[in-house]
Structure 1
Amino acid sequence: MAGRIIGVDIGTSLTKAVVFDDAGVSIADACTPSTVHHLPGGRVEQDLDQVIGTVVTVVREVAARLDEPVAALALTGQGDGLWLRDAGGAAVRPALSWLDGRANSVVAKWQASGVSQEVFRHTGSGIFPGCHAALLSYLDEHEPESLDRAVVAGYCVDAVLQRLTGEITVDVSDASLPFLDPVTRTYSAAAIEACGLGHRRGLLAEPAPAGAVFRLNAAGAALLGLPEGLPVTAGPFDLPASAIGAGVREPGDGILTAGTTLACQVLTRDVSWDRDGEPAGMFLATPSPEDYLRAMPAMVGTAGIDWVCGLLGIRVEQIGELLTQSPPGANGVRALPFLSASGERAPFVDAGARAQFAGLSLETTRADLVRALCESVAYAARHCFASAGLSGRLYACGGGVRSAEWTRIFADVLGTGIVIPGDPGVGARGAVFTAGAALGEPFDAEVWARGAHTVAVRPDNAETYERGYRDYLAALDGARPLWRI
């Protein structure tokens, strides 16, 4: 390939651009924060123009460092939420984040009335407050004028793509939740109607075909300082992009993303599901038409660790040290990690889900509280992978695995070694890897997988964590009837 592909990962709080060499090693990168507005009533919003500005900043910075031309731009980023735009790509209102909790009551009503179960029967995906269905329904009732002004109800990545290329489309991975029939990879009219949104069907862009390549238009080229007509790919979004970038290749293999939230995914070619089972999780379509990721993206993760650090007056950098100061089992302290204002979405959906600590005494230390919370997140991961069907190798990425001790806890609780990729930017890696294939110049997957290392299980902790996991499930079963919105 003549030149390099710039991978851009548009995260919730950070946008990062990375350029890789032919061996998948990063040779240039840049990052800049995005602004996330946390508002009363569980509302979480972002400004599209500010997000576009972060993309411009990091792409220009990386491009200026290269001593060879830019061959293409590969976009990935956060999924879910609701990014409403007009025909020119301008936001008709601030974007509603996937973290948004204003539609909690909508989801609770749908769970009670059977709507969530009906959608799950058609799509294999659960509905949660920050997904398209709930947010569209909420705005349809409380802010219909915004939907009336919009031409497209999309996601972050396709909102950026529209601004750079003028194209209105969506990657099939983003479209997977909540309305896509995974068998046909088309929208389920029955699922849309079940949510009472048939009259808003026109806002849903049709998924782009596999391997779609777009081009920078004049406006996009001017923004980025790159040539008009430059190839651009857009997707998959960050969860499947991370799986691709980490090295997930075989059915049964999985990836744990310990980020702001905890994403657990398993590669599968079987899109059958228990249509009367718990309506949670999702089937995420990948660039390969026969491959799907059974995803359980829980709302627990490093955001909870940030919270406990703030509460206890400790620095995040101290987590590893504190984890070594409390033994496996946290001296009897146990936790449920559900700290998100919008509850939980996998492996069950409950907008009222809330956290708890148990087993406290006057002898409980800060280290015990931190370890109990970290162990509870690992138990949540095990619960998710049990539902997703993990049977092969497990990979991991995200800020959480920067803590060696927390990664060891994940391995011990899950009972399997964890492969940590050599380069942490797996989302951008997956986007660039996908772009190479779409442009007809694929990268060597085996070469890109080099440099990884494996965190092994410590057998001495097995009994403690087996008992801890049983206690976690029992505490969860006892808490669920008590949660209220």
Structure 2
Amino acid sequence: MSAFLLCLDSGTTAVKAAAFDRHGRIVASAERQNRALRRDGARIEQDMAATRDDAFAVMRECAAELGGTLDGILVTGQGDGLWPLDAQLRPAGHAITWLDGRARQIASELQDAGTLDEIQAVTGSRPTAASQSLQLLWLQRNDPQRLSTIAHVLRLKEWLLFTLTHALLGEPTAALPVWGDWRSGALSPIVQRTLGLPRGLELLPDFAPVGECRARLSPQAASATGIAAGTPVLLGPGDVQSTLVGLGLGVRPAVTRASIFGTSAIHACHILDPALMPAAPVGATLQRFVLGDGYFLFQPSFNGATLFQHIGRIAAGLPAHAEPAYSGLILHPFLEPGGERAPYTSPNASGALFGLTAHARPEQIAWAAREGLAFVARASHEMMNAPAGVLSLGGGLAADPHFAGFLATLLDTRVERAGGGQAGLRGLAAIGARHLLGAGDAELAGSWVVPPDTVAAPRTGKVAQYARDKYALFVDLLDSISPHWQRMAAIRDLADDMMETTRQ
């Protein structure tokens, strides 16, 4: 009888599960839209019980297709946010997600005071409105009664591990950039002391390295998922590192950097010693690589492919899939209410559209949005001083050959993309194959990570000149407008307050 690994990735847009055989082949899969997200302006939360139910449903659907036993279950999910439990281990209200923008003003205040610089010097990463630390500080200032009911603070993947096993456990790669010292790899009290938080580290679960952070499937979860009780459940790294591994970063030698365009946009490279960098980019995050030596350095943006949903809502009639429609339009793609966290690190960042005339067509705006995301990608890789080499492209936009071609031209490098996607699940499976099946480096590179089936090469001539010139103008305009973001945010807050008064 065959044995399988079942992988669960609970994302912001969708909840996915896939089963892999011992050769890295997907033999069953299931997916459903994330029904648990709750948007209300800057307040973006998630129903924890609905999140659990969605996860159990895709696992049950996937397991029902299998004809054998499971060697193990691997779990990942959104890397940031605050998933609270009370003393009875029940959800203490909705989770505060990584998209929630309510801590934006606190982040702006701390940035002006230099506090964020002090924290980044220790953690290697700058706190944002997505960070548990600032979300706790927001609760302390704005909802102390709710804060008093919180006994445990988890991330989404830790919440799912708890629902599957009743074990309160975490792994350190996602926690250290918020609560730890990147040099020592240990948690540090400096963050909560610097922020003036009365409680911080004591709210976190116990930590164990990826591979060792595991528990057994409980009888209750077994009944809900159709999987045998006692099956090992391993907590993987966050969805970012899982996806980067699935794209081959750190696994396939030719791949030196990667970009993911999902709900957010992530741009990353693999480095062996971050201490050798001249200076860490302000918005970058450092995570220890879970399958070998070194670190993943990545720029995690708030603004990714959801940009098209936001623009489509504001400007009706935009095409969902855009072929190149070159124009003089330049779009700054910062539409999320939390501002932007990388590479342009400002809680007050906002979008803009330049060059608009009455002759502009919807398809030009749609293509300018894609160009804007590509421009941010180039800025990110330049700030990280990413090593030259192949870029592996993932996320929903990886399916767009026109976007991949423009990105290759803009970065002057080959861009690999793979049909079928599922990079996050594949990366998670590769991690499971290492820790549960004993797979070596060559096997992981050859069988488990996403195999590229299309390569976009840089173009020359007018398209290359257009990309270079427009990127330079994009940056110049950004340098000109960004000093005014804070004033614009203050006016926006005043307008929101006036409108709220009018409604009352």
TM-score range, shorter chain: over 0.9
Shift of 1:440: 4.1
How far the C-alpha of 1:422 sits from its partner, in A, is 4.3
Tell me the number of residue pairs that the alignment of Structure 1 and Structure 2 aligns.
478
Between the aligned partners of 1:306 and 1:253, the Cα distance in structure 2 is: 31
Describe how 1:186-201 pairs up with structure 2 within 5 A. Answer: 186-201=186-201
SS of the residue corresponding to residue 200 of structure 2 reads helix
* Deviation of the 1:314 alpha carbon: 3.5
1:390 aligned to 386, 390, 397, which one? 386
TM (norm. structure 1) is 0.93
Q: Distance in 1 between matches of 2:133 and 2:279?
A: 20
| 8 Å CA contact 1:210, 1:289 repeated in 2 | no
CA RMSD of aligned residues (A): 2.1
Deviations 1:407-440 (A, max 9, x none): 2222222221111134400101111111121224
Q: Which residue of 1 aligns with 2:329?
A: 333
Distance 1:439 1:192 in 2: 36
Q: Tell me if 1:372 matches 2:368.
A: yes
Quote the residue 1:304 is aligned against: 307
1:23–1:447 CA contact under 8 A, matched in 2: no
Identity of aligned residues (%): 24
CA spacing shift, 1:316–1:359, aligned 2, 3 Å: closer
Relative to structure 1, the CA distance from residue 20 to residue 314 in structure 2 (aligned partners, 3 Å threshold; closer, same or farther) is farther
Confirm or deny: 8 A CA contact 2:179 2:201 kept in the other structure.
Answer: no
Contact 1:252 1:267 in 2 (8 A): no
Which residue is 1:408 aligned to?
405
Amino acid at match of 1:361: T
TM superposition shift of 1:134: 1.1
Equivalent in 353, 361, 368 of residue 357 of structure 1? 353
Deviation of 1:20 (Å): 2.4
Superimposed CA distance per residue, residues 242-291 of structure 1 (whole angstroms, 9 cap, x where no aligned partner):
01111112598111111111111111121327797653211022324633
Q: Deviations over 1:129-175 (max 9, x none)?
A: 11111101101222223333222211000011011111112122221
Partner residue of 2:483 out of 472, 481, 484: 481
Q: Mapping of 1:229-244 within 5 angstroms?
A: 229-244=230-245
One-letter amino acid of the counterpart of residue 248, structure 1:
L
Separation in structure 1 between the aligned mates of residue 220 and residue 88 of structure 2, nearest angstrom: 11
Distance 1:160 1:87, change over 3 A: farther
SS at 2:170 equivalent: coil
CA contact (8 A) 1:97 1:130 kept: yes
Separation in structure 2 between the aligned mates of residue 371 and residue 336 of structure 1, nearest angstrom: 12
Q: Counterpart amino acid of 1:287?
A: V
Q: Relative to structure 2, which stretch is displaced further, 245-254 or 4-13? A: 245-254
CA distance in 1, matches of 2:204, 2:49: 21
Confirm or deny that 1:438 pairs with 2:440: no
DSSP-derived class of the 2:8 partner: strand
Inter-partner Cα distance in structure 2 for 1:370 and 1:178: 35
Residues 186-335 of structure 1: pairs in structure 2 closer than 5 A:
186-212=186-212, 213-249=214-250, 250=253, 253-272=256-275, 279-288=282-291, 290-314=293-317, 317=320, 319-320=321-322, 323-324=323-324, 326-327=325-326, 330=327, 332-335=328-331
User: Which ranges in structure 2 are unaligned for 5 or more consecutive residues?
Assistant: 490-504
Is contact 1:121-1:275 (8 Å) kept?
no
Larger relative contact order (C-alpha < 8 A, sep ≥ 6)?
Answer: 1
Which one is further off, 41-50 or 453-462?
453-462
Distance across 2 between alignment mates of 1:421 and 1:470: 30
**Residues 295 and 251 of structure 1: CA distance in aligned 2, closer, same or farther (over 3 Å):** farther
Mark the CA change 1:93 to 1:338 in structure 2 (over 3 Å): closer, same or farther: same
User: CA distance change for structure 1 residues 44 and 170 in 2, over 3 Å: closer, same or farther?
Assistant: same
Q: Which moved more, 1:230-239 or 1:246-255?
A: 246-255
Q: Deviations over 1:224-245 (max 9, x none)?
A: 2222210111111110000111
Letter in 1 for 2:240: L
Q: How far apart are the structure 2 equivalents of 1:124 and 1:27?
A: 39
Amino acid aligned to 2:379:
H
CA distance in 1, matches of 2:67, 2:422: 21
Distance 1:60 1:278, change over 3 A: closer
Q: How does 1:96-245 map to 2 (within 5 A)?
A: 96-212=96-212, 213-245=214-246
Pair 227,343 (structure 1): closer, same or farther in 2 beyond 3 Å: same
1:275–1:109 Cα change, 3 Å? farther
- Structure-2 change in CA distance of 1:462 and 1:432 (3 Å): same
Amino acid at match of 2:192: I
Residue 426 of structure 1 corresponds to 423
1:312 deviation in Å? 3.7
Per the TM alignment, residue 39 of structure 1 is displaced from its structure 2 partner at its CA by 4.3
What SS is found at the alignment partner of 1:305? Answer: helix
Maintained 8 Å contact 1:379/1:472: yes
Q: 1:473 to 1:165 in 2, by over 3 A?
A: same
Which structure 1 segments of 5+ residues have no match? none
Q: What's the CA shift for 1:348?
A: 2.9
